[in-house]
A and B are shown apart, each in its own frame.
Chain A
Amino acid sequence: MNPTNYLYLSAILFSIGAVGVIVRKNAIVVFMCIELMLNAANLAFVTFAKINGNLEGQVMAFFTMVVAACEVVVGLAIIVTIFRSRRSASVDDASLLSR
């Protein structure tokens, strides 16, 4: 199978994630979309490793997973704290700037 197809899949997943971040209001969904974008990037790394025949891309994918794990910890903690104080997980409600 042509490895380029994985790149196309990666691009599609990334775009879905990006659109999700921009249009959704629920903080949990936005968070999931971010994860989707990270994993699309991971897929692209691994594909490039396959195409180039070396391990650099795979190593990068591990790094990304570690960073993503940390990010999930911090991000979920923030979301939970905001939900506790505001009784809402909507990202729009968390806007405090006056117009």
Chain B
Amino acid sequence: MTSENLVYLIALPLFSSALLMLLGRKADKWGHVFATLISASTFVVGAMEFFAMIDRPESSRAVTQKLFTWISVGTFNVDAGLLLDQLSIAFVLLITGVGTLIHVYSIAYMSHDRDRRRFFAYLNFFIAAMLLLVLGDSYLNLYVGWEGVGLASYLLIGFWNQKPEYATAAKKAFVANRVGDFGLSVAVMIAFANFGAVSFIGIEEKVGGASEAALTAMGLMLLLAAAGKSAQFPLQAWLGDAMAGPTPVSALIHAATMVTAGVYLITRSNFVFDNAPTAQLAVVMVGTITLLFGAIIGMAKDDIKKALAASTMSQIGYMIMASGFGPAGYAFAIMHLLTHGFFKAGMFLGAGSVMHGMNDEVNMRRYGGLAKFMPITSITFGLGYLAIIGVPPFAGFYSKDKIIETAFNAGGVQGVLFGSAALLGAVITAFYMTRLMLMTFFGNKRWAEGSEPHESPFLMWAPMAVLAVGSVASGYLLYSGKAIVKWLAPVVDKDHHEHAEFLPPIVVTTLAVVAVIIGVSIAFIKYRGELSERAPSEVSIFTRVTRRDLLQDDANEFLFMRPGQKLTQLLVKTDESVIDGAVRAVGSSALGSARGMRKLQTGYVRNYALLILIGALVALFAALVVTL
């Protein structure tokens, strides 16, 4: 089926973004309202498409729209086409819905910033690029959106680029993303070389006849791309620094939507991964490493946004892990992605609200006892907290519990290992989130002088409240009657596999709840009393390493940056001595010979006459020699 309306999803925010950027300061007065209205109307278009989709029978739910013929070379044709199916629509609603809420929030949050219009122009650009990413019907179209969100992320992390360290953070994110983008471009090339096609449908048709090696290579390259965009090991280091951006950006781009693009990519490429078990195993391993890595970093962070960023990394680790389990896991990866979109965006907005009331203080050691002063923020944040640690019946409980269950069901030693890692991650998540709650909203007041915490304005707490409702209800709504599994099955589980059960679900659920209780109790024991304003300095080596983000920056510096600098220096030297040297030698030899030749030109007539005479004599002599 085709639809003519899909293009508006992308065109509306793109138009608004271009308009706000081109009009410049003229649009300062109304730009933020306009951008928010555009975002809301995009959501309306998305919702209309969603309801139209529900009305159609399951077999014809996907709709496409061809925009124009993009590349046409011989037998190779790429259309700029859009595809809206059961998977895309979930993302469209998340992006436009959460995006609109965050637009509303930003009107108040950014009200004191003189560049608020530019901020909204970037936000709208991000919405357009992200929608293109999830709506593109081929890897090439997806790639355009993929680069677009990278650009938007760069622009928004460095939004306050007058601070050099913020500009550096933006650059770091961009560079790490480039590594991933390289993977995606290689994956597209592998697809083209092996299948002669880059569209999802085209590849899916031919995937049966491809060699497993090619599919594995493509899968690994897609994994690299996903690792770059979704801050997965080993490209995870940029996400913490990306918190330099304004808090709404952290909520929208670096928690709810853009960083989950890797999960979308893997789920969308299910036809590749399902036929490449090695790549799938790599996906699961990357996810498992990252979920523990992020959780461990989260335990040691005092910066509220960086703690949440570490938590995002860890939660996306869960999603990537689930998507590596194949048809059994895709639906749960997407489900966790959606619930995470609600509760993590809600918590980031809550963190922004706290910062708003505390003179932009981010250090949790200078918070404490804020629940009394910010009741709405603490309640909405608290609901998000209950969701993320997985307390039944909040949203995160359903999604995370199913992922842990899927991990155990993978079977064999692997299943036990991955399942235990996921359970351990749940314990740590419960610990660091409880720590965050206790340090921020409870305990003794450790405020900096002059802090007067106050509740944020309506425009800020209303989106938080909506997201809190999502954090409470979305898990049950998505999972009741296996709704999400059935909904996504036509895309990710066409053959309706039967999934074996390693442990009965009730046992896994019990284990997960016990894990939460353990994590929460440890945090209560350690952080319930009076806390100091400064982080303790006499700590174990483990804590110190964790505070340095498990040496992720040191490792990158040692493995890539220093050798890279050495290589650059070597190249500069070679350039100076060899290439520049050769050029300079040509110049100076010409100059030297010219200096010698110049001596011949004395300016005396008799010298010239003598030379003419000598020349004539030589000529004569030569003629004589020749004739004799």
Contact = CB atoms under 8 A, between A and B. Distances in A.
B603 A91 contact: no
A23 B603 contact: no
Nearest to B607: A22
B596 to A, nearest CB: 14
A22 B601 contact: no
A22 B603 contact: no
B614 to A, nearest CB: 10
Nearest to B610: A22
B602 A95 contact: yes
B611 to A, nearest CB: 10
A97 B601 contact: yes
Nearest to A25: B606
Nearest to A95: B603
A53 B438 CA distance: 132
Classify chain B: how many residues form its interface, as a range: under 10
B605 interface: yes
B605 A30 contact: yes
A95 B603 CA distance: 5
A3 B549 CA distance: 112
Nearest to A24: B606
A23 B607 CA distance: 9
B613 interface: yes
Contacts of B601: 97
A18 to B, nearest CB: 6
Interface of A is mostly: loop
A97 B603 contact: yes
A96 B606 contact: no
Nearest to A91: B605
B605 A94 contact: yes
A97 B603 CA distance: 5
Contacts of A94: 605
A92 B606 CA distance: 8
B604 interface: yes
B597 to A, nearest CB: 13
Interface in A73-98: 91-92, 94-97
A22 B606 contact: yes
Contacts of B613: 18, 22
Nearest to A21: B609
A97 B604 CA distance: 9
A97 B601 CA distance: 8
Classify chain A: how many residues form its interface, as a range: 10 to 19
Interface of B is mostly: helix
A23 B604 contact: no
Contacts of A22: 606, 609-610, 613
Contacts of B610: 22
A20 B559 CA distance: 83
A97 B606 contact: no
Best-buried of B604, B605, B610, B613 by chain A (most CB within 10 Å) = B605
B602 A91 contact: no
Contacts of A97: 601-603
Contacts of A96: 603
Contacts of B603: 95-97
A87 B513 CA distance: 117
Interface string B367-385: 0000000000000000000
Interface in A19-36: 21-23, 30
Contacts of A30: 605-606
A18 B609 CA distance: 9
Interface in B595-628: 601-606, 609-610, 613
B604 A95 contact: yes
A75 to B, nearest CB: 12
B403 to A, nearest CB: 89
A23 B610 CA distance: 9
B320 to A, nearest CB: 79
A22 B607 CA distance: 7
A41 to B, nearest CB: 12
Contacts of A92: 604-606
Contacts of B606: 21-23, 30, 91-92
B89 to A, nearest CB: 85
Nearest to A34: B609
A95 B606 CA distance: 11
A76 to B, nearest CB: 16
A18 B620 CA distance: 15
A94 B603 CA distance: 8
Contacts of B609: 21-22
A48 B602 CA distance: 39
A97 B599 CA distance: 11
Interface of B: 601-606, 609-610, 613
Closest 3 CB pairs of A and B: A97-B603, A95-B603, A91-B605
21 contacts: A18-B613, A21-B606, A21-B609, A22-B606, A22-B609, A22-B610, A23-B606, A30-B605, A91-B604, A91-B605, A92-B604, A92-B605, A92-B606, A94-B605, A95-B603, A95-B604, A95-B605, A96-B603, A97-B601, A97-B602, A97-B603
Given A23-B606, A30-B606, A95-B602, 5 more contacts: A18-B613, A22-B606, A91-B604, A92-B605, A97-B603
